[in-house]
Structure 1
Amino acid sequence: MDLKLLTFIVVGATFALYIGIAIWARASSTSEFYVAGKGVNPIANGMATAADWMSAASFISMAGLIAFMGFDASVYLMGWTGGYVLMAMLLAPYLRKFGKFTVPEFIGDRFYSRTARLVAIICLLVMSITYVVGQMRGVGIAFSRFLEVDIAVGLAAGMTIVFIYAVLGGMKGITYTQIAQYVVLIFAYTVPAVFISLQLTGMPLPQIGLGSTVVGTDGVYLLDKLNQVIADIGFPAYTDRNTFSTLNMVLLTLALMIGTAGLPHVIIRFFTVPRVRDARKSAFWALFFIALLYTTAPAVGAMAIYNLVKTVQPGEVGHPEGSLLHEERPRWMHTWEATGLLEFKDHNEDGRIQYYNDKNPEFSAMATEEYGWQGSELRVDRDIMVLANPEIAGLPNWVIALVAAGGIAAALSTAAGLLLAISSAISHDLLKGIIMPKISEKRELMAGRISMVAAILLAGYLGLNPPGFAAEVVALAFGLAASSLFPVLMLGIFSKRMNSAGAIAGMLTGLISTLLYIFIYKGWFFLPGTNVFPDNADYWLLGISPQSFGAIGAALNFAVAIAVSRVTAPPPAHIQELVESVRVPRAG
């Protein structure tokens, strides 16, 4: 069957499933809209949490980072998975025990202040809007390639699907839809990985295949072979650290970890289970379901870049006669070139595709002098590697169509969770909590749906003009969550002395300092050229990248919050007793 038709059928079937679930699980009350009535089974909630957390950055972009960065990309694996462990151990059970619908509601009640709640709403909106941009970018990339439509059309289709199941079903519909999306995305991620691992190493488990020998190489291990292949075209060893300084690696890992732990759209998932004990079980199951993808990602990245280089260099790697003739390029290169995410320019007009590291002065000088090369002629957007991987490996069309459905499911699942967090912040926290406290449940539910429609339209518009590839945008969002929300949540749970003045001062310090740093080096997200300094390590303060600065913002937040709370009045006695009671274990 034709790939385009098969992709329409597979993706269309998954969309029909999502919409059917939304109709079946339609929310009829604010409790069902915000927290699914607090009646979700822990295993089901763990699966939904995994889908909510594993966004387009995890499915589409992370393996692309690993493919092009090698060992250095382990910072994303360590940061994101480590952060989830922090959330599960230090935040989720206590916040569930507190029993509120949203993170701003917890902050407002814990710090006995509408102002604290308002600042938390602002922090949540800034972080969530930044995060959702990367998800809409993922939707656009998947649609534009596999359905062969313009990225704007792809975004419109994705917005429509999210509109139906998120606005109609709320958290109840989103939860059960995300369970279906997890099943789709994990099959879509692991099935091609198994096929490719078998092709290259004869080992069906990609996690083991990554450390196995390559078929037909007389016992050469895959990573050793990959080091050799990319060294032959001027790139540093795949298994060496090449990109990050030690300081940046530590700070980025920390920013991603505490940013993950401070994500409000994931934290709210632990409010959907009946009991505190179920929140802990949900955390365990979510980590298990997340690990299925995250332990596969290193193999997917390594095998993808290996197959790409061997496709472009079918003969002797690193020599002109070994390069692929442009007119003989495979079909997948034609189709990805049409999207603009893969680009070939024949600088020396020899009809061959020269792909090498022209930023390596020694190799570039040698290639120019001996081969007459005039710069690398292939540009590959790293966000396409997972989606293109089964095509590069020549897998069956049904596998390629499955990957398309998985990429879209990953982006839509997180986008829905983020949009619900944005909606609840506006309708429940801002409108009911501050502006109109006597609003009826029916009107609040309507306001929630209207605010979600507005959030979907804004996310779609911003998704057309992203500031970078998916994982880069998401890393910035995690930095904002790390610097603004994580410290105040931790101090709210574990410090009886922390008061409203300290919480407000800390959140504002962390958020503003991180936003200013991002603005200085990256500019306003959607206005190119507005950055004050170039975005490269030569200009960064102490060599700290904008993606890593969230850890510094968090440290400033902690320091200011603690200092201000020490020189101002302590919280009322009933608040201190409340904090103590939240930390005391109880049955059930």
Structure 2
Amino acid sequence: METQTLIYLFVGASFALYIGIALWARAGSTTDFYVAGGGVSPVMNGMATAADWMSAASFLSMAGIIAFSGYDGSVYLMGWTGGYVLLALLLAPYLRKFGEFTVPDFFGARYYSKTARVVAVICLIFISFTYIAGQMRGVGIVFSRFLEVDINLGVVIGMGIVFVYAVLGGMKGITYTQVAQYCVLIFAYLVPAFFISFMITGNPVPQLGLGSEVNDGSGLFVLQKLDLVLQDLGFAAYTDGSKSTIDVFCITAALMIGTAGLPHVIVRFFTVPKASDARKSAGWALIFIALLYTTAPAVGAFARLNFVETVNEQDYATAPGWFHNWETQNLIAWNDKNQDGVMQYRSGDAFAGAPVFTGETGPSGQRLVSNADAVGENEVYVDRDIMVLANPEIAALPGWVIALVAAGGLAAALSTAAGLLLVISSSVSHDLLKRTFRPDISEKGELLAARIAASAAIMVAGYLGIYPPGWVAQVVAFAFGLAAASLFPPIFMGIFTKWMNREGAIAGMVSGLGFTFLYIAWFKLWFPELDRPQNWLFGISAEGIGVVGMVLNFAVAIAVAKFTGPVPLHVRQLVARIRIPKGAETPHMH
């Protein structure tokens, strides 16, 4: 069977499974829509959390970043996994014991204020839309290559699929769909990794293969060979880092702390029957997440090695089929600068800025770009988001493995997109309508409002996917920075202090979110030409600035709380109730 036929078969079957599960588990009440009825088992919830957590950034981009950044890419591994542990141990059980539907619910009750709830909703929507832009972009990339459609059309198709199971199924449909998506995405990630590790090192376990000798008779270990190959081409050594220590620390910390403030992950712990189950499901999720995260460094290293060996010094006329497949999607390109018909992959840019494809062909057959006047020897442009998807093709693996990876990439992007959309819709329908502006709304009206809000959110998400501010993992890093600077401090202080009042929490959230957003926008949206280490505050990049925003949030909140009114007695009693183990086994629904 042809590879393209297998891709249609695998992707079609996985979509049919997701939609079938969503229809079977369709939400019939607001409890079903928001927290899946509150009766999901820890193992199932752990699997769903892992799928929700391992987005397109984890599946598509992380190994791509590691492949091209080497040591510098380790900040994503350390930050995201460390952050999940922080969330699981520090916040999740207490929020679950609080026992409401959403994160702004906690803000509204703990800070005894509708204003605090509304500010939390604004922060949450900001974070979720920033994050979802990366997911929809990932969906577009997978569709464009494997279903042979334009990236923008791929985003639209993805919007349609998410619409069905997020709008109809709510959290109940999403939870059971995400269990299936986890199984698909982890199988799709591990199978090619086993194949490629065995081909390069003779060891089928990628985690061990990364530290093994290359089976080409050279006696070199994988990372030694990669260092030598890249340095010969003018790149920095793969195992050397270029980021400053302060920036590495801040990016890692922003990703960690941002994880603990991510609303679509926090809300997963509201779906289990009791607080002790929140800890158990967090433990299971960590195991499921570790399967992918411990494999990613090997996937990145093997992908870069294979890419160099199959592209550099290759005659374009006899280039492998995968190169032309991705070239037609404008995600890889060659600019024959010296007119010799041979692809030179070196350090530096192949084009002046990002390539703008004209659709014409040059004298050597390459697809011309309108700004092909960059200096330097490098002739090859590659979008790093394609590396995981292209890896099986580069390694010439069987067609069914390529089809499996296509299905896995879509599962990763769609699972997180659905979770984010649900958070946005529940914030609008439950927190803004039911709890703030329309307290008399019926349950049926609230459910309808949630579905309308989800539909509107999908439209905005699609637009952001078509016009994304950066490549997938970078966009996601900004979402984590915003979460670290806005939601984490008031959640942390709301659980572990009795004296933090509403005025302090609101002032802290506004200042942290405002500062972090303006800093990111300054360097990434308004003045990207200034995005250089010498121009950064304290030498911290936009990816790591969330830590400074978090410190500002804490400082402003504590200062304002000292000069404003005391916390009411019933709120102090609420904090004590959340933190005392007695009664932790009580079912949460009231």
TM-score if structure 1 supplies the norm length? 0.94
- Cα deviation for residue 532 of structure 1 reads 7.7
Q: Which residue of 2 aligns with 1:402?
A: 404
Question: Is residue 96 of structure 1 aligned with residue 108 of structure 2?
Answer: no
Kindly indicate whether the alpha-carbon contact (under 8 Å) linking 1:155 and 1:460 is maintained by their aligned counterparts in 2: yes
Q: Aligned runs of 1:422-571 on 2, under 5 Å? A: 422-523=424-525, 530-531=526-527, 534-571=530-567
Q: Distance in 2 between matches of 1:531 and 1:228?
A: 36
Question: Is residue 332 of structure 1 aligned with residue 331 of structure 2?
Answer: no
- Cα deviation for residue 324 of structure 1 reads 0.7
Give the counterpart letter for 2:286 in structure 1. Answer: L
Kindly indicate whether the alpha-carbon contact (under 8 Å) linking 2:189 and 2:408 is maintained by their aligned counterparts in 1: yes
Q: Distance in 2 between matches of 1:374 and 1:53?
A: 40
Kindly indicate whether the alpha-carbon contact (under 8 Å) linking 1:431 and 1:437 is maintained by their aligned counterparts in 2: yes
- For the aligned residue pairs, the C-alpha RMSD in angstroms reads 1.2
Give the counterpart letter for 2:248 in structure 1. Answer: M
Deviations 1:19-74 (A, max 9, x none): 00001101000000000000000000000000001000000000000000101111
Deviations 1:69-96 (A, max 9, x none): 1011110000000000000011000000
Q: Distance in 1 between matches of 2:271 and 2:410?
A: 25
Deviates more, 1:473-482 or 1:538-547: 538-547
Q: Which residue of 2 aligns with 1:582?
A: 578
Give the counterpart letter for 2:146 in structure 1. Answer: F
SS for the counterpart of 1:538 is: helix
Q: Aligned runs of 1:213-224 on 2, under 5 Å? A: 213-224=213-224
Q: Distance in 1 between matches of 2:216 and 2:250?
A: 42
Q: Which residue of 1 aligns with 2:282?
A: 283
Give the counterpart letter for 2:378 in structure 1. Answer: S
Deviations 1:332-351 (A, max 9, x none): 00000001110100000011
- Cα deviation for residue 538 of structure 1 reads 3.0
SS for the counterpart of 1:376 is: coil
Deviations 1:116-160 (A, max 9, x none): 000000000000001000000000000000111011221111111
Give the counterpart letter for 2:266 in structure 1. Answer: I
Q: Distance in 1 between matches of 2:346 and 2:529?
A: 29
Q: Distance in 2 between matches of 1:277 and 1:542?
A: 42
Give the counterpart letter for 1:304 in structure 2. Answer: A
Kindly indicate whether the alpha-carbon contact (under 8 Å) linking 2:349 and 2:378 is maintained by their aligned counterparts in 1: no
Q: Distance in 1 between matches of 2:579 and 2:558?
A: 20
Q: Which residue of 1 aligns with 2:57?
A: 57
Kindly indicate whether the alpha-carbon contact (under 8 Å) linking 2:349 and 2:376 is maintained by their aligned counterparts in 1: no
Give the counterpart letter for 2:40 in structure 1. Answer: V
Q: Which residue of 2 aligns with 1:370?
A: none
Deviations 1:483-516 (A, max 9, x none): 0000110000001000000000000010000111
Deviates more, 1:153-162 or 1:378-387: 153-162
Deviates more, 1:350-359 or 1:263-272: 350-359
Q: Which residue of 2 aligns with 1:80?
A: 80
Question: Is residue 347 of structure 1 aligned with residue 343 of structure 2?
Answer: no
Q: Distance in 2 between matches of 1:418 and 1:374?
A: 42
Question: Is residue 258 of structure 1 aligned with residue 249 of structure 2?
Answer: no
Q: Aligned runs of 1:73-472 on 2, under 5 Å? A: 73-242=73-242, 244-313=243-312, 323-358=313-348, 374-472=376-474
Deviations 1:503-533 (A, max 9, x none): 000000100001111121122xxxxxx3386
Q: Distance in 2 between matches of 1:557 and 1:217?
A: 56
Q: Distance in 2 between matches of 1:149 and 1:173?
A: 28
- Cα deviation for residue 581 of structure 1 reads 1.4
- Cα deviation for residue 359 of structure 1 reads 7.4
SS for the counterpart of 1:497 is: coil
- Cα deviation for residue 374 of structure 1 reads 4.7
Give the counterpart letter for 2:120 in structure 1. Answer: A
Kindly indicate whether the alpha-carbon contact (under 8 Å) linking 1:64 and 1:383 is maintained by their aligned counterparts in 2: yes
Give the counterpart letter for 1:562 in structure 2. Answer: I
SS for the counterpart of 2:168 is: helix
Q: Distance in 2 between matches of 1:539 and 1:326?
A: 41
Kindly indicate whether the alpha-carbon contact (under 8 Å) linking 1:520 and 1:533 is maintained by their aligned counterparts in 2: no
TM-score if structure 2 supplies the norm length? 0.94
Q: Distance in 1 between matches of 2:349 and 2:275?
A: 54
Give the counterpart letter for 1:199 in structure 2. Answer: M
Deviations 1:444-472 (A, max 9, x none): 00000010000011101111000110000
Deviations 1:429-448 (A, max 9, x none): 00111110111101000000
> Once the two structures are aligned, what percentage of the paired residues are identical?
64
Kindly indicate whether the alpha-carbon contact (under 8 Å) linking 1:479 and 1:547 is maintained by their aligned counterparts in 2: yes
- Cα deviation for residue 535 of structure 1 reads 2.0
Deviates more, 1:181-190 or 1:229-238: 229-238
Q: Distance in 2 between matches of 1:569 and 1:311?
A: 67
Give the counterpart letter for 1:328 in structure 2. Answer: T
SS for the counterpart of 2:470 is: coil
Kindly indicate whether the alpha-carbon contact (under 8 Å) linking 2:349 and 2:379 is maintained by their aligned counterparts in 1: no
Q: Distance in 1 between matches of 2:125 and 2:376?
A: 47
Q: Distance in 2 between matches of 1:110 and 1:76?
A: 32
- Cα deviation for residue 375 of structure 1 reads 2.2
- Cα deviation for residue 570 of structure 1 reads 1.4
Q: Which residue of 1 aligns with 2:588?
A: none
Q: Distance in 1 between matches of 2:287 and 2:524?
A: 36
Give the counterpart letter for 1:88 in structure 2. Answer: A
Deviates more, 1:101-110 or 1:577-586: 577-586
**What stretches of structure 2 of length at least 5 have no aligned partner?**
351-374, 586-590
Shift in CA distance, 227/533, structure 1 to aligned 2, threshold 3 Å: closer
Q: Which residue of 2 aligns with 1:317?
A: none
Q: Distance in 1 between matches of 2:428 and 2:152?
A: 27
- Cα deviation for residue 217 of structure 1 reads 2.2
SS for the counterpart of 1:339 is: coil
Q: Between Structure 1 and Structure 2, how many residues are aligned?
A: 560
Q: Distance in 2 between matches of 1:146 and 1:379?
A: 20
SS for the counterpart of 1:570 is: coil
- Cα deviation for residue 537 of structure 1 reads 2.0
Q: Distance in 1 between matches of 2:348 and 2:493?
A: 49
Q: Distance in 2 between matches of 1:220 and 1:23?
A: 53
Q: Distance in 2 between matches of 1:143 and 1:486?
A: 35
Q: Which residue of 1 aligns with 2:362?
A: none
Q: Distance in 2 between matches of 1:296 and 1:434?
A: 45
Q: Distance in 2 between matches of 1:219 and 1:173?
A: 52
- Cα deviation for residue 218 of structure 1 reads 4.2
- Cα deviation for residue 358 of structure 1 reads 3.5
Q: Distance in 1 between matches of 2:442 and 2:529?
A: 50
Q: Which residue of 1 aligns with 2:361?
A: none
Give the counterpart letter for 1:469 in structure 2. Answer: W
Q: Distance in 2 between matches of 1:550 and 1:104?
A: 20
SS for the counterpart of 1:197 is: helix
Shift in CA distance, 291/437, structure 1 to aligned 2, threshold 3 Å: same
Q: Distance in 1 between matches of 2:534 and 2:406?
A: 39
Kindly indicate whether the alpha-carbon contact (under 8 Å) linking 2:42 and 2:281 is maintained by their aligned counterparts in 1: yes
Kindly indicate whether the alpha-carbon contact (under 8 Å) linking 1:533 and 1:539 is maintained by their aligned counterparts in 2: no
Q: Distance in 2 between matches of 1:562 and 1:427?
A: 31
